[in-house]
Amino acid sequence: MSKNKIPYKTYLTEEELPKAWYNIRADMKTDHRPILNPGTLKPVTAEELAPVFCDELVKQELNDKDRFIEIPEEIRNFYKMYRPSPLVRAYCLEEALGTPAKIYYKYEGGNTSGSHKLNSAIAQAYYAKEQGLRGVTTETGAGQWGTAMSMACGYFGLDLKVFMVKVSAQQKPYRKAVMETYGAAVTPSPSDTTEIGRKILAKDPETGGSLGCAISEAVEAAVTTDGYRYVLGSVLNQVLLHQTVIGLEAKTAFEKLGEHPDIVIGCAGGGSNLGGLMGPFMAEKLAGKDAPYFLAVEPASCPTMTRGRFAYDFCDTGMVTPLAKMYTVGAQFIPSSSHAGGLRYHGMSPILSQLYHDGYIDEARSYNQTAVFEAATQFARVEGTLPAPESAHAIRAAIEEALKCKETGEAKTILFGLSGTGYFDMGAYMQYNDGSMTDNIPTDEDLERGFASLPNVPADI
């Protein structure tokens, strides 16, 4: 086997690091439907959001005008510790597949937090610090977001309270330890430190918790603690905005290579990774130019885009947040146990939902997790990097697309996002290795039960 093709990586210079994030809403033909106050069914205002989110982040959340939003210098300097991230040509994978396709991946796992989540975490911590806050609260399930936020708050000397889904804290004690090493206070959720937590515990003292409950506790802790706000790692517009640094760098790297992707593939949970990678390439399509084929990949166990509905829904299972118009399987839908924890969210970013609904995202596809781990293992062996289960959904799709090229003889250029590493997911790899991993796909009846929980919002809103 020849191993002589070079170079494997395209690095940008620090000067080529983007100076502004790309705000896709300014270019969208149809903006996403407004976020609603669940009581009044009226669009939420900046004033309503101010007790929950940092002021500057509220502005970004509601900004549908400015195409570019400058990245403050202190954030850019932090980015320089691990960015620009490499665009890698997967020569070894191509060779193993025998495909004429060119496969590239944008690699976001090369920082200690291990994923792309740090791109938004550092921005949110910066704005909190700038506002003179003492600290922030957040929730974490799989742990990537909590880890990234812990690093960011450690860097800026900001307090952080993380509500970690209790069953995750028990199953992943090392994730908890990483956050604590960075100085975060980690509370298994539900806890007796909040009213909502005590209420849930009174009902069911043995519950392992859920992301929805953790969100509710984190929001309550933020609004009831002086000098605190709440931060979130996906779904929101501000998060997608920050994550466009991924796609902007990838675009610049392709320009330097004199190439252009024919397909852009990203895994999709709440949408932070997919939106960040895809957004800047989507700009071409929104401007009516030739653009890549956009492919979103999700787990069959939580098929938001492939089997969900485009409807107003709560952003949390606790039903205390505003309503967003998005693809959803229903806030009460409980996905069966899947190790791609970061993709188990019931909804999808309103921006991406709108783009998918309007046909700008060409396709959504779902995979069983055993197929995903098969791809992850193949990738690790030939390319070296051990992917996060979430990212491996995109790998699976890239391999399938490359094998289609092998059949047709087309030499397509494929770009996918390798959003993170799988160091803290070895329990799932062990299950795959020993053959005990199963696929748990919801039945139509399971989905109907989720849809039944959708709030009743008149069609004309």
Residue 446's H or E segment, with its range, is helix 444-451
Q: Per CB under 8 A, which region of 8-16, 198-206, 403-411, 448-456 contacts its own copies?
A: 8-16
Binding flags for its own copies, 98-137, as an x/- string (CB under 8 A): ------------xxx-x-----------------------
Instruction: From 84, 134, 56, select the one nearest 251 (Cα to Cα).
Output: 84
Q: Residue 433, interface with its own copies (CB under 8 A)?
A: yes
Q: CA-CA distance, 56 to 415, in Å (whole number)?
A: 33
Tell me the three state secondary structure of residue 442: coil
Give the distance from CA 168 to its chain's centroid. 18
Q: Per CB under 8 A, which region of 175-183, 193-201, 283-291, 340-348 contacts its own copies?
A: 175-183
Residue 2 CB, shortest distance to its own copies, in Å, is 9
Chosen residue from 180, 255, 358, 410 binding its own copies by CB under 8 A: 180
Residue 337 CB, shortest distance to its own copies, in Å, is 18
**Whole-Å CA distances, 273 to 37, 69, 153, 269, 416:** 27, 19, 21, 8, 11
Residues 6+ apart with CB under 8 A from 228: 133, 134, 135, 136, 137, 159, 161, 221, 222
Residue 186 CB, shortest distance to its own copies, in Å, is 10
Q: CA-CA distance, 140 to 149, in Å (whole number)?
A: 10
Nearer to its own copies, 158 or 241 (CB): 158
**Whole-Å CA distances, 456 to 159, 315, 331, 356, 449:** 39, 15, 13, 23, 15
Q: Residue 371, interface with its own copies (CB under 8 A)?
A: no
Nearer to its own copies, 190 or 420 (CB): 420
Nearer to its own copies, 7 or 227 (CB): 7
Q: Angle at CA 91, nearest 5°, toward 89 and 95?
A: 155
Chosen residue from 182, 254, 327, 367 binding its own copies by CB under 8 A: 182
Task: Specify the residue for token string 């590239």.
Answer: 104
Q: Residue 245, interface with its own copies (CB under 8 A)?
A: no
Q: Which residues bind its own copies (CB under 8 A)?
A: 1, 3-9, 11, 14, 73-74, 77-78, 80-82, 88, 92, 110-112, 114, 151, 154-155, 157, 173-174, 177-178, 180-183, 377, 380-386, 421, 423-424, 426-427, 429-430, 433
